[in-house]
Structure 1
Amino acid sequence: MHPEILAQEGYSSVHVDDCPVREVFPGIRLRLLWKAQSGAQAAVLEMDAGTSWPRRDIHAPGPEEVYVLTGTFHDGARDYPAGTFLHAPAGSWHVPATAGGCTLFLFYPEG
């Protein structure tokens, strides 16, 4: 490891297992990984098998970027297997669900 990397201001790291878990809906948990002063943030969302968002997930004020880490994510219209990247522009919406369970990496570039 290069010591000069660690000395850079703002450079940080965290292990997902060390992040507090917040249940956002039954069987759906969020782990906040990072949040900037601007409001940008990164998180991991864990969805148990057979769970779904109880309403539309509207992307506001900015976009949402999703990478499916494990399982299969369903957006209300189609399935996305592990390894899929999705970009949802500001103002768009979906109804997150999963039949078999999934884990997602979420990034919100705007606050």
Structure 2
Amino acid sequence: MPLDQAVNEIEGFLLWEAEKDRARTRAQDFCAGLPWLTDTQRREVELRYCQDQRDASRTYLERIATRSAALRTEYEGVYRALRRRLITAFLSGTVAVAVLVTVVAAGLNAR
């Protein structure tokens, strides 16, 4: 496994763990506003709230990943087109300079 891929997996794992902790904290804060819940009810509400938050986060992250991949493909295409244009312009300029130098040199030799 390449180092970059390993770092990405570790980073993804840490980000997901942080997201789960954030969901747990939000669930506890939510339940703090419901003082009439029994301990069992509180655990159940926290569990369901956490699961709902994780599902929403996963959906959101998947949507971002899909969009990021689409943008990457689009930008790579634009980059290739710009690179082709630049190379074409450079080669055209080089040919034009070479022709100009040849014409000037031929003109100077004809005198």
**TM-score, structure 2 normalization:** 0.20
Task: Determine which structure has greater relative contact order: mean sequence separation of CA pairs < 8 Å that are 6+ residues apart, divided by chain length.
Answer: 1
**TM-score, structure 1 normalization:** 0.20
**Which structure's CA Rg is the greater one?**
2
